[in-house]
Amino acid sequence: MERTQELLVNMGPQHPSTHGVLRLMVKLDGEQVTWCEPDIGYLHRCFEKLSEQKTYPQVIPFTDRTDYLAALLNEMCYVEAVEKLFGDAIVVPERAQYIRVMMAELQRITSHLLALGSMAMDLGAVTPFLYCWRDREKIYSLFERITGGRMLYNYLRIGGVRNDLPEGIIGTPQDGEDKADKTIWGFINYFDAYVYPQWKELVTGNRIFQYRTQKIGVLTAEQAIAYAASGAVLRGSGVKWDLRKNLPYSIYDRLEFDIPVGKNGDCFDRWWVRQEEMFQSSRIVKQCLAWLAENPGPVMAKVPRVLKPPKGEIYHRIEGARGEVACYVVSDGGTNPYKVKWRSPAFTHLQLMPLLCPGHKVADIIAILGSIDVVLGEVDR
Amino acid sequence: MEWWNSLPPTAQVWLGGILKGSLILVWGLLNFAICLMLERKISAWIQNRVGPWRVGLWGWIQPIADLIKLWVKEYIHPNNVDKWLYLIAPFIGFVTANLVWLIVPFGDKFIATDLEIGIIFIAAVTGYDVIATFMAGWGSNNKYSLLGAMRGAAQLISYEITMVMSLIGVVMMAGSLRLSDIVLAQQERGFLGWFLFPQAIGFIVYLIASLAELNRAPFDLAEAEQELVAGHHTEYSGMRWAMFMLAEYIHLAAWSAIAATLFLGGWSGPTLGQVAAGLGNVLNGFGAFVNPVGTAVADWGMSIMGSTVLNWIAGVFWLVLKTYFFIFLAMWIRWTLPRVRIDQLMDLGWKFLLPVSLFNIFLTGTLRYVAVTFDGLPISIGSFTMRLLGWWL
């Protein structure tokens, strides 16, 4: 008997472009996607539960490993949440704040570079990925000198940062391409002169790339808000919402930067927002560098040896690389947090897959997944 | 050649066939090794890397090491595959890729089989490739393979038409389907006679169509790694998988050789004798200050100009040079561009390239008619432009 049936394909958990171990169940009518459902949990590592067994400072390395591509941003979220719990008892020195923001923005550049590179690779262009790798390595070399770690840092402390910037890492605004992996100024100048224009012209300007991403996975502003999207996904849909501007934390209210906003909410706009955000991050880093070069000082507040925040709870959110990273910390007055709960943007964004994918082709699933930039470590925690 | 002529005709056919077949096989494998290495090196250079570096001088023995590795690997035979389709498919692809080399002329009368229907043969043989793809995809009993095979089939069938249409202009100009005739037809005005210039539209259409035909990026939809894991050869391992790779690269080399033959004058190029004669002429100052050295070089050049073997060597040299130009082009494109989507591929093929290639046929026919009509008439103002247009034709 002849019959037709939709083809159920399990993309993942082992698949070349599921960015880790994501399983996408997809129903196909020929090349057309009719249904798509993400299945998560393959990378669950019990970080939230484990945090309850550790003291407050001991939780910081876990935060690195949730979103391992933007570790410093997670650290920043957790550390600021705990500092908020202490209230006025801990006053973070200004220099530490600037270092944190500068590091966070450099981290945002690395994270976006990888997001752009892997999305380009998902679309079949392998070379941009290697270029992104080359440029990301330069920041990682800088991070290695500052923090000692290349990917997972454990650098931020409750009350400041672990150590001041090493001698000579800031450099001077005249540092050129040859110092890109030696001084931060060198990297920023290299970024502005080469990396950003290269991405703009070679990939964003590529006709095939535009055909593949424009009008694909369109997310309207209403849908984006209804699905609690944030970060580049929200701004790609045209909603001007950035926690750094709208609810400034740390020292972001003293810095000057713009918020790039897309128009159509398609894959291309999300891509474009990330690319422009990298440029804005480089602007922020420059301002921080100028301040840091002139204002030496302590980088660590006076904190008690054993951290016992007063009883209470706090929900702190910051603008992470992928969207709003938030941390909910409950203290029972003891040395260990009573509860640490993460709000991870990638988890929230993954629920967009069933909304965006149907009606598109198989190849578009990959483009959409790349454009919402999922990191599975963060989804499953 | 006495002993050869003394053999009975049947033996000549069989022995000649076996000899040609083995030579083509060796030639194909040689090209595979070089192409594989070039692919790795060129991709490495494009991507700021070094590429293979350890095995042999600059890593150039790497392809052989790879083949040995694949040879000794276990053949994984998944359950529930369609056994015969699964087993035969890799070899069909390999054979069709090698068959194309049969009709590539390496020099004047230096050709395995000078078929009268050369271009039709190309179309037929490259079309076979889809059968291998589909057999592998269907036989593997894997959803990705099936999707890849369906894509491959759709793609090959649509681009086959475009590719053949783009070649018709060449056939019209040469007046023959035989590849050696097409090369001879291009030899009239030095390199200006190459069909690349009068057939620029056909050339570009052919380039794009054959990239799609070869399943190379940006048209590598059948094995789109990021979407379908490895497309039609997802389930293959070891030497069977290597057969697909062999087929792909031999096909690439063969396609490049065909492109060089049809559009870049094939084996035509200065031979050693001609170069020496020219050099002697230059040394003599074009007759202004004749000296013994120049005369000797020129005489030597004139004396070896008629040598068949040397001319064949020159033919092979030029053909290989032009072939590798196209191979480099294909690799350059592969490592630069993102992949197109299946519907965009179909749009490009049916809605753009096919009409353009049909227009090319119309244009070629018109210009040829004009050229023939005005040939021999005294040049007037009106006909001058037409003559100019039809000059190459």
Instruction: Map out the domains of chain B as residue ranges.
Output: 74-268+307-392
- Report the gap between the CA of B226 and the closest CA in chain A (Å): 5
Which residues fall within 8 angstroms of residue B340, CB to CB, at 6 or more apart? A208, A211, A212, B218, B219, B221, B348
Instruction: Specify the pLDDT at position B367.
Output: 76
**ipTM exceeding cut-off 0.85 for this assembly:** no
Closest chain B residue to the Cα of A117, Cα to Cα? B338
B44 and chain A in contact, CB less than 8 A: no
> Is A273 within the bounds of a domain?
yes
| Residues A67 and A377 sit within 8 Å (Cβ to Cβ) | yes
Q: What is the pLDDT of residue B378?
A: 43
pLDDT at B62 over 80: yes
Residues in chain A closer than 8 A to B340 (CB atoms):
208, 211-212
Lowest mean per-residue pLDDT among A51-60, A220-229, A285-294, B221-230: B221-230
- Taking CA–CA distances from A9, the nearest residue in chain B reads B143
Q: Tens digits of per-residue pLDDT, B359-380? A: 888 888 877 777 666 654 444 4
**Angle (nearest 5°) at CA A316 between A311 and A317:** 170
The confidence score (pLDDT) of residue B182 equals: 81
> Is B344's Cβ below 8 Å from some Cβ in A?
yes
Q: Which two tokens stand for residue A226?
A: 């209804």
Which of these, B216, B234, B210, lies nearest to B126 by C-alpha position? B210
Nearest CA distance, B321 vs chain A (angstrom)? 26
Inspect the interface and report whether the beta carbons of A363 and B143 lie closer than 8 Å: no
User: Cβ-count burial of A69 within 10 angstroms (0-12 exposed, 13-18 middle, 19+ buried)?
Assistant: buried
The pLDDT score that the predictor gives to residue B375 is 57
Contact A125 B342 (CB under 8 A): no
Express each pLDDT in A310-335 by its tens digit. 888 889 988 888 888 898 999 888 88
A interface residues, B as partner, C-beta within 8 Å: 7, 9, 15-17, 28, 30-31, 120-127, 130-131, 134, 206, 208-209, 211-212, 361-366
In this prediction, residue B189 carries a pLDDT of 67
In terms of phi and psi (left: phi > 0; alpha: psi -120 to 50; beta: otherwise), the region of B202 is alpha
Sequence-ordered list of residues with C-beta below 8 angstroms from that of B118, at least 6 positions apart, any chain: B103, B177, B178, B179, B182
CATH assignment of the domain containing A70: 1.10.645.10
Mean pLDDT of chain A: 86
pLDDT at residue B380, rounded to an integer: 42
Give this prediction's pTM. Answer: 0.82
| Residue B10 sits at the chain A interface (C-beta within 8 Å) | no
How many Å apart are CA A191 and CA A286, to the nearest integer?
A: 12
The DSSP code for A164 is: P
The number of distinct structural domains making up chain A is 1
Do the chains contact at B147 and A28, CB–CB below 8 Å?
Answer: yes
B382 pLDDT tier (thresholds 50, 70, 90): very low
Residue A328 counted as domain residue: yes
| Residues of A in Cβ contact (< 8 Å) with B146 | 7
Q: Is residue A2 part of a domain?
A: no
Residue A1 lies in a domain: no
Test B225 with A361 for CB contact under 8 angstroms.
no
Question: A131: nearest CA in chain B?
Answer: B47
- Mean pLDDT score across all residues of chain B: 80
Q: Is the pLDDT assigned to residue B384 strictly greater than 70? A: no
Residue with the bigger pLDDT between B303 and A217: it is: A217
Of A7, A30, A209, the CB nearest to B143: A7
pLDDT tens digits, B259-268: 888 888 777 7
CB pairs under 8 A between A and B: 82
A17:B226 CB<8 A = yes
Tens-digit pLDDT profile for residues B144-200: 888 888 888 888 888 888 888 888 888 888 788 888 888 877 777 666 667 777 778
